[in-house]
Amino acid sequence: MRSLWNDQEAKQFQGDLGLRVYTSRLLGRDKSLVLHGGGNTSVKIREKNLFGEQETILYVKGSGWDLETIEPQGFSPVLLAHVLRLAELPSLSDPEMVNQLVTHMLDASAPAPSIETILHGLMPQKFVDHTHADAVLSVSNTRDGDKRIREVYGNRCVVIPYLMPGFDLAQYCAREFKRQGTPETVGMVLLNHGIFSFGENAREAYERMIELVTLAEKYLESRRAWSIALKSSPRSAPGAAAQAGLRRRLCDAAGAPLIVRTVTNERTLGFAAHPELARISQKGPATPDHVIRTKRTPMLGSDVAGYAEGYRRYFDEHAPRAKEPKTILDPAPRVVLDPAFGLAAAGRTAKDAAIVAEIYDHTIDVILRGEALGGFQALPAKDVFDVEYWDLEQAKLKKGGKALPFAGEIALVTGAASGIGKAAVAAFLARGAAVVGLDLDAKIESLHSRGDFLGMSCDVTDETQVRSALEKAVLAFGGLDMLVLNAGIFPASRKIADLPIAEWRKAMNVNLDANLLLMRTCHPLLKLAPRGGRVVVIGSKNVPAPGPGASAYSASKAALNQLARVAALEWGADGIRINTVHPNAVFDTGLWTEEVLGQRAKQYAMTVEEYKTNNVLKTQVGSRDVAELAAEMCGALFAKTTGAQVPVDGGNERVI
């Protein structure tokens, strides 16, 4: 491991808090040190209060912030004097500790302070860094981890046995720091948890962390426990139907939709095929910080019902030990290991699933290195239970928060690079769905840069490309719940007598045949949607009220409308509902080129502006208007509606 400190970069950060931000980001860049909100950093700064009095403020990383991207406002400013007074109490519950810390901050808008705030405050050094370094966990999470850690660090680190994070741990660490600490001491190792480093300036604390973790890496290397090869047999990519079926079972166990990310590579396949997998993978997480994200242990194979029943038995065995009644978390696993596909990671959102996948990728390293060092040893089951059903986590669970309506669900939108399709992508993302966007235009691939969007260039008239896109979508998110059929073309205005047959066939191929292909290919996936599949067809006013010069477009859209009606009849038994939106004169779409717009206006003897508001309400309809209705049709308001046709046209006399 090497230091990432750069003098030129450091100059951009002013003062102790600025440098605290800088070195926190350096730690966050290295995923072998901290993952997704893990780890903590702090700095103690002398400041004047409103009365002109000097007091020491403990700036500690606040809840919800990630070290890699933290800003100054991500640190909670807590009065150190009050923190130290709290530490003198004989006991303090975790909820009351959090309350005391929150009510003794300088800024009411700051995030809640870390649960380890008192621990940071009790450390005498100005800067304190805390990570969950893979290398340190690999050494400490072994049968004789205490002995090995002391062998690695000698007097340089105080060694603390595992205790739940919170008040008791802070007091214990302070006592042991005074007892074990020497002039050589620059850090502290919490077994099965992580490592601390200290310094009187930001660079010193940071580079001591790098130095301490490097010692653990070298220790592992010297015992041939650093790079562990995995053997895997070449396998074909897992099928979409099988992974969607797995997701459905996971959702049923969880009682809510989940996103499931499949990671199939030599590493995951090799670990899933490990001859000792049933033993080494079931011992628990690498650190308690990972318990809430990944649950106790991964599931092996696809027996979700068996795993869920085991989880419930585990809860029943341990729950009586708790002082307060516990609310059982859903029993669905968050990690699934299977030689057929490697690893599947589940979460309530795409972000959560990605975090679980990354956490377990690092857990694989810790397990394999621990095994090579004499045997991986995680926390006892009771400690895992205590973390998973911690008072603070229970409080979060009870407090909750209003979930977005499509959280855990997946939508696929065609023609998604512009116009109605682009607006539909935004509408579904805003409602919490993971979205797959398909378009012939390659710019779809960069439409959004976020973990819950997958854009793919795809010709929806090509069956091979459609099937390939769906396979990738299922591997990324787990299945399909909602389908928006939007892709289409609007040929130039022509009278029937002048219409080339090739132009007619192209309109039918894109507007009708491609949608039949998509519906037929997506049907098995929509059947597995935990809340029932939903399809929204973007039709046209030309279905109930065709216009002259648009025979190819009108006929293809009318045929698509009839196809949707038949599908609504056939697929109702599968719990799939299909509804149609009929927009008219949506001029901010790719269909309406200046040429087409001019032709249509001329056809009706109107100016372009008159044509744009040629409806009963004299209003202009935009892509977002159509997209929002399409999204609502997939929601609760339309839960008992199928086969409907709803106009979004400002009112058309011929339709009314």
Active site residues: 540, 553, 557
Rounded-to-5 percentages of helix, strand, coil across the chain: 45, 15, 40
Element (H, E) at 137: helix 134-140
Question: Do residues 216 and 136 lie in contact, with contact meaning Cβ atoms separated by under 8 Å?
Answer: yes
- CA separation for the pair 303, 249 (Å, rounded): 9
- Residue 274 phi, psi dihedral angles, 5° rounding: -60, 135
- CA separation for the pair 277, 227 (Å, rounded): 18
One DSSP character per residue, 503-572 reads HHHHHHIIIIIHHHHHHHHHHHHHTT-TT--EEEEE--TTTTS--TTBHHHHHHHHHHHHHHHHHHHHHG
Question: Do residues 29 and 79 lie in contact, with contact meaning Cβ atoms separated by under 8 Å?
Answer: no
Sheet-wide strand order for 453-457: 453-457, 434-439, 410-414, 482-485, 534-538, 577-583, 645-648
Question: Do residues 526 and 535 lie in contact, with contact meaning Cβ atoms separated by under 8 Å?
Answer: yes
CA distances, 241 to each of 457, 522, 524, 525 (Å):
22, 10, 7, 7
Q: Tell me the residue length of the chain.
A: 656
Helices (H), 589-622: 594-603, 608-612
Question: Do residues 489 and 507 lie in contact, with contact meaning Cβ atoms separated by under 8 Å?
Answer: yes
- CA separation for the pair 491, 504 (Å, rounded): 9
Other C-beta atoms closer than 10 Å to the C-beta of 497 total: 5
**131: which strand partners?**
195
